[in-house]
Structure 1
């Protein structure tokens, strides 16, 4: 357990440090954030033609209201926590790769729901927007990370148990 915890902390420190580098921010984080804004706008325009993306901002072309997707709101930090937990946990590299890919998709899918919900909450009620942005969605995204990790651990335990049970039969 101590090995997992120390590896988890070391990976997080390393990945967060890399994430903070200017070159990574410019060439990875900002392009990802702008893509996230475009994906959200693309989804919203299916039912609301007033949505658009400009850079890292999802905005309403009629009212002018927009949400700027800033660091901490693009899902990268949540993915770093999940990635560190998956890599630190003892498992096969194949299982880790599946966890990293599925986990990234799960966190980013929920983050898209988060951005779109905040886009509409902000147009409706500023106080509720602030609460949802600062407290509710922060907790839900990290809960998503925990649930994805726990499901991944459980799937790995089942995969290890299945061959053992077959060999015993």
Structure 2
């Protein structure tokens, strides 16, 4: 009797896979964004992360033969005086939060999810580094092109990158599942 009641309760409150995915995705994304924007996390983790990215961008510019000064979250050209300040919304972390939320919501093992997070975050954050450096050079060339690339092109490209990584991860999961079934 007791198992029948618990099974009927489970059946009554069970969600179809699409609804479950959407609810878990939205809840995880909300949690990730809420955590990321808390003052302590923003100041001590996100701020330091952005400073480290700007430092890496500056070193990359210098190693490539260019000139750049790094002042905390600002990448500046010492000759032209043009500078790019990387703010919280330009760190690439937003796309990582959405990718992680998608991977948490998708039915997979935790080891597969963690592998996806590591590879996906690396890919998104690497592309974001290219974004910072390209905007640094583009801004020295044309303010109009800088504005267009900053406000439209790169935001879309970073989000598309996250989506492509998510779909490649799903494809990897299905191939992994097929190879395990053949063993």
Q: TM-score range by the shorter chain?
A: over 0.9
Counterparts of 1:48 and 1:138, CA distance in 2 = 27
Per-residue deviation, 1:52: 1.8
| Equivalent residue number for residue 48 of structure 1 | 65
Aligned length: 166
Per-residue deviation, 1:165: 2.6
Mapping 1:18-167, distance limit 5 Å:
18-166=35-183
Of the two, which has the highest radius of gyration? 2
1:93-121 per-residue CA deviation (whole Å, 9 max, x = no partner) reads 11001000001100000000000000000
Counterparts of 2:48 and 2:27, CA distance in 1 = 26
Counterparts of 1:116 and 1:124, CA distance in 2 = 13
Structure 1 position 8 matched with structure 2 position 25: yes
User: Where does structure 2 lack aligned partners over 5 or more consecutive residues?
Assistant: 1-17
User: Where does structure 1 lack aligned partners over 5 or more consecutive residues?
Assistant: none
Large movers: runs of 4+ above 3 Å = none
Per-residue deviation, 1:49: 4.1
| Equivalent residue number for residue 17 of structure 1 | 34
TM-score normalised by length of structure 2: 0.89
